[in-house]
A and B are shown apart, each in its own frame.
Chain A
Amino acid sequence: MIRLLFLAAALCLTLPGPSHAQSLQNLLQTHADEVLKPGRRSVGVVLDDLVSSGLPQAVPFLEAWRDREIVQRDADGRFFRSADDTLFDLETGEVLGPAESDALTQSRPNGGVRRAIGDALVQFQLSDPDITKRRAAVDAIARSMDASQLTPLRMSIEAEPDTALKATKTRLAGMLAARFGKTPEARIDAIGGLAGDLSVDVRAVLNTILATTGDVAETLPDDVNLARLLQPGIDLTEAEAYRQLVANDLAPPPIPAHAIRAALSSNIVDGFVGGLAVHTLDTDENRMTAYRALAQAGEVPPLVTAQDQAAALASHVFYQAYDEPDIRITDAARAALDAIETRVAFSQAADLALDALSLASIYFLAAIGLAITFGVMGVINMAHGEFIMMGAYTGFVVQLFVPDYTLSILIALPLAFAVTFGAGVAMERLVIRHLYHRPLETLLATFGLSIALQQLAKNIFGTQARPLTSPGWLDGALVFNDVIAISYIRIAIFVLALIFLGVILYVLKRTRLGLEVRAVTQNPGMAASMGINPDRINMLTFGLGSGIAGIAGVAIGLYAKVTSEMGADYIVQSFMTVVVGGVGNVWGTLAGASLIGFLQKGIEWLNPSNTLAAQTYMILFIILFIQFRPKGIVALKGRAAAD
């Protein structure tokens, strides 16, 4: 076998050898018996010769042989390939005519032989001139690692022209060496080389090396590579531990409750069993007594009491032993795995932070409009979520008319702003203006609008989710390593949130409108007496807040589906963001969105299986948070703070 591997290596250097003069048919004729009736042992010779021949036809021949397509013509003993009742020449591959099965004998290699042929093929493929074949061979090795693959893989590394594939091969060789290296030193070296790699397959290799088997004995044997001792009741339940004892014939099997019941019911004689009347057997105690009586009479197997079980557990040692007997190797693997897992944990934390950041930017986009209107006008707009939905549907409608996704998004963003700005202004003029002195009623009136708008959207667009397709250049994800990755859409939303933060700060701090908005926020009466028209400011602010909601709708629609209820999904989170952050302040909203985004991801990470619980705990946290900062992180002075 080793010779074969070296020959494979020689082949990959494609040295034109003298054997080239030989034809495949001649070679096969010298081993005619082995080719026709290959055995697990005899096949090695044929494969060796084939590999050393360097014949280009060797690979198709091996494939055909593996697929049981090789036949021998009885008349002259020559070999051919037969497929679909057609005979092919082995040297040239040309069609020779129909295959007459009466005159041919098929070579039928068994499973073991076919595996050996497959191995030989891998060696050919590892050095194949076609890079896709080489890749396929490397993938095949990675899928099912085997000791025999190490040497041919190593041999093929040096001559590998493609740098990426060379790196993959080197990595794979490292993993193979860690598992199947010849000496413990070689394996420990290879394991050390894996320590910097975070990928899942490296961790799988290390975990395979560290595989353990649970066992039990009266005293701990000396010759095991102990992973850890197990304490019944702590590391494994007492029932499991006892089951292990029973499985190893170290203790009698316990009698389960249903067996006791069955034994008692089948031994009822004249309304009595084990000396007790049947109607008294409605407690476990009496049933035990009756069963013991039966056991003493020899009717049933004796009871294994809890004390017996505890004694059996106490007199045995439960432990997990590594399958790998060499403690140096397991120690090295454990150290490498620990190092990797520390780095994985850091990477996961970074990944989580990225997730949280993108969630926070979504919440920021959804909530900032709400925060502005609330801050300036002291009005909570329950229909804010429906403005988000309106923006998303605007994007959907634009995509119906503009098929180019990049262009349609560029049109949809300002259009969504315009549509929701108009809707917001209309709502302010028609409804909210009349309710300025009744803030709670604004809440209800806007809620009325919210259910009407939601149902209206349902009537127009139907109940099924509508897609808002992002442009192709936003597909995929930015991958840092095997753990940290973030999709481009989330980056885009983050950038959008940043842009909005900048724009809103600019509008509020650097423009005449912003100055007037801040003045009305702080003291509307005084602002009015300074010549600012609060009506106009209220209208524009409401329009601005609603317009931002529309843009947020397009952004949210890009990564979630557009439905008539999508606004309702975000409205409570937006309220939370505003309440936690403090109203009417951009930085407050930013702080609130970050807090809620990071908190939600953090809780989800602690309890990944249960997002419902995460939301519950987050809301509880917010309720408690309000206790300590009733006006939010950034408390506002002025009209909104007065009530």
Chain B
Amino acid sequence: MRHSFIAQNPSVLWFLLALSLFTLGVTVLSEAAGVAVISTSFVKTLGKTLCLCLIAVAMDVVWGYCGILSLGHFAFFGLGGYAIGMWLMYARTEAIVLDALAQQPLPPTPQEVSDAIGNQIFGVVGSSEFPWIWAFADTLYLQLLMIVVIPGLLALVFGWLAFRSRVTGVYLSILTQAMTLALSLYLFQNDSGLRGNNGLSGLQNIPGYEDTSQAVISIVFLWASALALGAGYVFFAWVVSGKMGSVIKGIRDNEARVRFLGYRVESYKLFIFTITAIVSAIAGALYYPQAGIINPGEIAPIASIYLAVWVAIGGRGRLYGAVIGAAFVSLLSSWFTGGGAPAVPLGFYTIQWTDWWLVLLGLSFVAVTLFFPKGIGGLFDYLVRKP
């Protein structure tokens, strides 16, 4: 079985090889290895890009393979980030608070410690009490579990409601967009228990490793992201191949026909929706410690639409296409908006790319949809002649 899976999906091996070479290459050239060809901040950018590639792969499975255009997967990404961010923030604040309280003549009571931490974290939104959603924030393994459980449950309930009443097509897209909008609006409130629009910050400082340099931490997270991407890729490649993969692609192409053949279409869709939501959350949990800060703006509907843009430009219906699209567009985007691209003087007007990049992206997106529905990944079809 293992043999046939690889044989069916030669791209998996190529992908894993490329990913390993990339990770090793970055590690060797990083500041942590002493060469410092690649700066620590760029290593972080690359690590974050790998996480974006992972959520793009998940998006590709749910959209390119199952035909559900979800415009809400960044909500799960953000929830994953919030879940790990809660522990990071709690544990770090706890260490600081315990240090401060140790200076006092009396040993602190548990209540005093909790009050002081609450004050530190929630002072910015005018509160000092721990909301109930922070109940597990003091225990790493429970909070790690939350990364999977919370977005998984949300996706399960939302998907169950939506698929059960046979909401499909653009309706479903709008509904998922509404979901992520509702979530981000909710988190923007100060009394949401997650610090409102301040979000969670200081996530790049890993509790217990305060003395380790960011150069080393960035490499560790790069490896973790690469590992997650590799594992996610193999997992999804396995999901979309074989009999189950055929059913899923059948649902994409003609849902009614698959249903008439006796398959429980809703269950398949729910499974795909939930599992991709969980993988998105894992990607988010790896992304935000590298980004250092998470706030509700991150899960605004526009982010999820960009995710669809990456996957479309990279090429739907092929997992490496999603990876290429996410990496290509997000790196290009940071190059253009970061002022890296040279301005184009036209004599009467100078094109500043920070102003014109979005115009270019939007128009090239239209062009890709119109003329290259297979995206960048479609170019590989010319290289590999299929029998």
Chain A positions within 8 Å of B, measured between CB atoms, are 261, 264-265, 268, 278-279, 281-284, 287, 374, 380, 431, 434-435, 438-441, 443-445, 447-456, 458-459, 572, 575-576, 579, 610, 612-613, 615-616, 619-620, 622-624, 626-628, 630, 643
Which single residue of chain A is at the shortest CB-CB distance from B183? Answer: A616
| Interface membership of B308, Cβ < 8 A | yes
Q: Are B356 and A626 touching (Cβ within 8 A)?
A: no
Binds A, one of B257-265, B276-284, B359-367: B359-367
The residue of chain B having its C-beta at the shortest distance from the C-beta of A380 within the complex is B170
A613 and B161 within 8 A (CB): no
Q: Kindly state the separation between the CA atoms of A628 and B301 in the bound complex, as whole angstroms.
A: 24
**B358 near A439: Cβ-Cβ < 8 Å:** no
Question: Which residues on B sit within 8 Å (CB–CB) of A579?
Answer: 171, 174-175
Among A448, A451, A623, A624, max chain B CB count under 10 A is at: A448
Query: Are B362 and A620 in contact (CB-based, < 8 A)?
Result: no
- With contacts A284-B111, A439-B169, A623-B161 taken as known, whether A449 is within 8 angstroms of B106 at the C-beta atoms is no
Kindly provide the distance from the CB of A189 to the nearest chain B CB, expressed in whole angstroms.
48
B365/A626 in contact, CB under 8 A: no
**Please, how many angstroms separate the alpha-carbon atoms of A579 and B171 in the complex?**
7
Sample (29) of A-B pairs whose CB atoms are under 8 Å apart: A261-B104, A282-B106, A282-B107, A282-B108, A283-B109, A287-B106, A287-B109, A380-B173, A441-B373, A444-B308, A444-B309, A447-B365, A451-B365, A455-B356, A455-B358, A456-B359, A459-B356, A575-B177, A579-B171, A610-B189, A612-B188, A613-B185, A613-B189, A615-B182, A616-B189, A622-B178, A626-B167, A627-B164, A627-B165
For the complex, give the distance between the alpha carbons of A455 and B361 in Å: 10
Question: Does B186 count as interface, using CB distance less than 8 angstroms?
Answer: yes
Q: With A459-B355, A610-B189, A615-B185 as known contacts, state yes or no: A278 contacts B105, CB within 8 Å.
A: yes
The 8 closest A-B pairs by CB, nearest first: A452-B362, A448-B365, A455-B358, A619-B182, A282-B107, A265-B105, A451-B362, A445-B369
Contact of B186 among A454, A616, A627 (CB under 8 A): A616
Known A281-B106, A445-B365, A445-B370; contact A619-B170, beta-carbon cutoff 8 A = no
Interface residue from A261, A265, A444 paired with B365 (Cβ < 8 Å):
A444
Q: Which residues of B contact A284 (CB under 8 A)?
A: 109, 111
Nearest CB on A from B208, distance (A): 22
B19 at the interface (CB under 8 A from A): no
B147 within 8 A of A: no
Apart from A619-B178, A627-B165, 12 more pairs, CB < 8 Å: A265-B105, A279-B107, A282-B107, A431-B370, A448-B361, A455-B357, A455-B359, A572-B178, A616-B189, A623-B175, A626-B167, A643-B169
From B105, B169, B186, B189, contact of A440 by CB (8 A): B169
Q: Give A612 to B370 CA distance when docked, in angstroms.
A: 38
User: How far is it, in angstroms, between the C-alpha of A452 and the C-alpha of B362 when the chains are bound?
Assistant: 5
- Bound CA–CA A448/B308 (angstroms): 11
Please, how many residues of chain B have a CB less than 8 angstroms from a CB on the other chain?
52
B312 contacts the other chain (Cβ, under 8 Å)? yes
A428 to chain B, nearest CB (A): 13
Docked-complex contact B169 and A458, CB < 8 angstroms: no
Is there a chain A Cβ closer than 8 Å to B168's Cβ? yes
Our pick among A452, A455, A576 for the contact of B355 (Cβ within 8 Å) is: A455
Determine whether B305 belongs to the interface, using a CB cutoff of 8 Å to chain A: yes
Which residues of A lie under 8 Å from residue B28 when comparing CB positions?
A: none
Point out the residues of chain A lying under 8 angstroms from B357, CB to CB: 455
Q: Complex formed: what's the CA distance from A452 to B177 in Å?
A: 20
B181 at the interface (CB under 8 A from A): yes
Interface residues in B177-197 (C-beta closer than 8 Å to A) = 177-179, 181-182, 185-186, 188-189
Chain A binding surface, main DSSP class: helix
Chain B residue at minimal CB-CB distance from A261: B106
B229 at the interface (CB under 8 A from A): no
What are the residues of chain B within 8 A of A619 when measuring CB–CB?
A: 178-179, 181-182, 185
Task: Determine how close the nearest CB of chain A comes to the CB of B314; give it in whole angstroms.
Answer: 13
Q: Which residues of A contact B189 (CB under 8 A)?
A: 610, 612-613, 616
Give the chain B neighbours of A628 by CB distance below 8 A: 165
B351 CB to closest chain A CB, in angstroms?
10
Question: Residues of B contacting A630 with CB < 8 Å?
Answer: 165-167, 171
Give chain B residues whose Cβ lies under 8 Å from the Cβ of A264.
Answer: 105-106
Closest to B300 in A: A568
Contact A458 B175 (CB under 8 A): no
**Given the complex, which residues of A lie within 8 Å of B308, measured CB to CB?**
444, 447
Say whether B69 faces chain A, with CB atoms less than 8 Å apart.
yes
- Closest chain A residue, CB of each to CB of B171: A579
Closest to A290 in B: B106
User: What's the minimum C-beta distance from B313 to chain A, rounded to whole angstroms?
Assistant: 10
Select from chain A the residue with minimum beta-carbon distance to B104.
A265
A553 to chain B, nearest CB (A): 20
Contact, CB under 8 Å: A443 / B69: yes
Inter-subunit contact A380/B174 (CB<8 Å)? yes
Per-residue CB proximity of B334-366 to A under 8 Å, as 1/0?
A: 000000000000000000000111110111111
Interface centre among B105, B108, B362, B370 (most CB of A within 10 A): B362
Tell me the bound Cα distance from A459 to B356 in angstroms. 8
A453 to B363, alpha carbons, bound, how many Å?
Answer: 9
A444 vs B362: C-alpha distance in the bound complex, in angstroms? 10
A612 to B373 CA separation, bound complex (whole angstroms) = 38
CB within 8 Å for A612 and B185 given contacts A459-B356, A619-B178: yes
Mark out the residues of chain B between 42 and 85 whose CB falls within 8 Å of any chain A CB in the assembled complex: 67, 69
With A445-B369, A459-B355, A616-B185 in contact, is A282–B170 under 8 Å at CB? no
CA distance A579 to B188 in the complex (A): 25
B178 touches A443 (CB 8 A): no
Which residues of chain B (275-308) have a CB below 8 Å from chain A? 301, 305, 308
Complex alpha-carbon distance, A140 and B168, angstroms: 67
